[in-house]
Each structure stands twice: as structure tokens, then as C-alpha cells.
Amino acid sequence: MDRDAFDTIMASLDAPVAIVTTAAGDERAGCLIGFHSQASIHPRRHAIWLSKANHTYRVSLMATHLALHFLTNGDRDLAELFGTHSGDDIDKFASCGWQPSDVGPPLLTRCEHRLLLKRMTVLDDGSDHVCLVGEPVASTTAGSFDPLRLSDVDDLVAGHTVDERPLPPTERATD
């Protein structure tokens, strides 16, 4: 497979970024993601992929709900906060406005476009990210918006490095 061609195609798509938040017990977590998509029309489902290296991933495994906050062009500072720092090291929520939800995940007060998802399925195919599929139980929006995109944050350095992620467990994955 031509990896450069794959990377060029993915970069050309320029996906919108979002912040996922979740909570289990007293533990809150949140991270910036670029991998997410509507996964079903009926019933409605939305899928997100979390890096196995992230604090948010570990908390999400114990959580029943996740909140997906869609960022706008004016939210780069939130993208930087949730994308360049690890919840293993700092409490990101101490640096932004948030409120608790009725079902657990913290809700970022500045983000007017969000989904509250009940975690339905976890899919781990052995790669460095795990897919969580959620059923929307609430959604809010202020109308149409211009999303913050991967190209808008491609200069950010992730809170975890690639070498902190698990190695591919299969020979096929190393090709």
C-alpha cells in the first residue's frame, strides 16, 4: 500500500475536530479528536475513536456516557488545551468553563454544538485507537457553524507521543 497516497487523501478530507469529555466516579477526562462520524441513520448513532494512550480512553471504558463538543473557528484555545495536555498530568477542566451533565460527562459551556452519547459499543481492532459508538440522548446547537478543522490545528503537539501508543499486535498491522 502507498502510505503517502493514503496520508494525502486523509489530509485532503480535512475533517472537523471535536472534544470528547467523559466521567466515571470522580474522575473527569477530555481530549481533542479528529476521528468521529455519524455511524447510523436509524437508529441514530455516532462513532468516535480514542487513542489508547489517552487518559480519556481509560476513563471512557468505565463511563456510561460521553459528550462530543463540536468546535468552531473561535475555539482554537480549547483545541489547544484539550489536545496538547494530558489528563494524566493536569486537570484540563480547571482552565475552562464547564458544568456537570445529568449522566456524568462534563459539558463545556462555551461549546454550543454538542451531542450527549450513551456508550453502546466498543470496538478494538488492535490498532492504536478504539472505536466507541454512542446513541445520542441529547443534542444542542445554535444553528449552522463553521467547524474548526484538522488543518487549523495541525501545528499542535499532542499530549502523548506516538511511541507511547501500543505497538501493532499483528504482523499485518506492521506492513
Rounded to 5 degrees, φ, ψ at 147 are -75, 150
Domains delineated in the chain: 3-174 (2.30.110.10)
Q: Are the C-beta atoms of residues 106 and 68 closer than 8 Å to each other?
A: no
Mean residue pLDDT of the chain comes to 91
pTM of the predicted model as reported, rounded to 2 decimal places? 0.90
Per-residue pLDDT, 173: 40
Contacts 24+ apart (CB under 8 A), 32-36: 32/79, 32/82, 32/83, 32/153, 32/156, 34/150, 35/129, 36/68
Q: What pLDDT is recorded for position 175? A: 45
Q: Phi and psi of 131, rounded to 5°? A: -90, 130
pLDDT per residue as tens digits for the range 116-137 = 999 999 999 998 999 999 999 9
Radius of gyration of the chain (CA): 16
44-81 confidence digits (pLDDT tens): 999 999 999 899 999 999 999 999 999 999 999 999 99
